[in-house]
Structure 1
Amino acid sequence: MDLHGAPHVQRYLETNGEDGYHWRNGTTILLLFTTGRRSGEQRSHALIFREHRGAHLVVASNGGSDTPPAWFLNLLADPDVEVQVRGDRFRARPRVATPEEKPAMWASMVEAWPDYDRYQATTSREIPVVVLERVTDAG
C-alpha cells in the first residue's frame, strides 16, 4: 500500500501503524502532530524518520523547495508537539540539529532516503534535521 498525505495519517491512526509504519524502500514513518501557527488547529504529518540516541530524526525538506514545510514552521511557532511511532503516542520537544551533530544525522537520514541529498542540491535553503526528543512528565 503506497499511502500519502491525509490517507496515510488516517490509516496509520486506525491501525496503530500496522498500515503506514513501513513505507517505500524500507523506510519507516512516524506521525508528527503540530498546532497550526495561523489556524490554531492540530495538524498531522506522516514523515520518514530514523531513531538516534533515544530521539527521532526527521528532515524538513519539503522536496527541496525553497520554502520549508508547513509542519516545520508550525513547530517553530509552537514547539509543543506530539509524535506517534506505531501505537506509541507521546509529547516531544523538537529542536534543529546543531552544526556539529548534523553531518552524522544527515548521513543517517540520507541512508534512509537518498533523495534528501538531491533535495538539498536543488535549494539554497539549508534543509534542517529536526530532533524530536520525548518529553517525560515528572510526577
Structure 2
Amino acid sequence: MFLTPLTRRVGRYRWFGAAMRLLVPVDRAVGRLTRGRVVALGLVPSLVITTTGRKSGKPRSNPLLYVPDGDAYVVIGSNWGQPHQPAWALNLRAQPAAEVDVAGRRVPVRGELATGAERDRLWRLLLDEWPAYQAYVERAGGREIRIFRLVPAERGAPGDSDGPDSRARQP
C-alpha cells in the first residue's frame, strides 16, 4: 500500500490522531460495505481485527494499520498516542485467538506479543511504514507500546501465495 507524503507528514500531529479516532466508526462502516477491501479510508495498508471482548465475550472489530512479516501481520497497540492501551490489545492479551480481514479475505490468527530483539525488529518495520508511531510514544509519556504478530492459525502449504508478502504494495 502507498502512503502519501502528506499522510506521513501529518500523521505525527495530535489533531490527526484525534480526527482519526472520530473517523473510526465511519471507517468500520466503509470496511463492512466494501467487505474489508477498503479500510483506514484507503490511506494505509490496513486490516480489520476481530477479537473477543475480555469482559463481554462478544466479537469486537477494529481497523488497524499493519505491516507484513513473512506470513504474519504486525500490528501495534498505539491508540493514536493516548496514555492507555486500546481495548482490542487488551482483548488480544486475554484471548489470543482472533480473526483478521485483509482485502476481503478472512484469516484466523493467533496474537503473539513481541518482546526483546523481536520487538525491536518489528518496531523498525512499523516505523518504516508509519513514522508517526515515534510521536505516539512521546505523546503516551514514553510508555512502551505493545506490538503483536498475528500468525495465521492455519498455515497454508509451503509455497502458498495467499500470505501478506504475496501482495505487492500498490497504491
The answer for unaligned runs of 5 or more in structure 2 is 1-18, 156-171
Q: Give 1:21 shift.
A: 6.2
Matched, 1:6 2:30: no
Structure 1 gaps of 5+ residues are: none
* RMSD value, Cα: 2.1
Deviations 1:77-120 (A, max 9, x none): 11121111011101100011121112221111112111100111
**Equivalent-residue separation in structure 1 for 2:32 and 2:70 (angstroms):** 25
Q: In the TM superposition, what are the counterparts of 1:1-139 in structure 2 within 5 Å?
A: 4-20=23-39, 23-24=42-43, 27-122=44-139, 123-136=141-154
Structure-2 separation of matches of 1:104 and 1:22: 27
User: TM-score, length-normalised on structure 1?
Assistant: 0.86
Is contact 2:37-2:102 (8 Å) kept? no
Q: Which amino acid aligns with 2:102?
A: V
Contact between 1:22 and 1:28, CA under 8 Å: does it hold in 2?
no
4+ runs deviating over 4 angstroms: none
The answer to whether the 8 A contact 1:21-1:86 is kept is: no
Tell me the percent identity.
32
TM-score (norm 2): 0.71
DSSP-derived class of the 2:117 partner: coil
Higher strand share: 1
Greater shift in the superposed pair: 49-58 or 114-123: 114-123
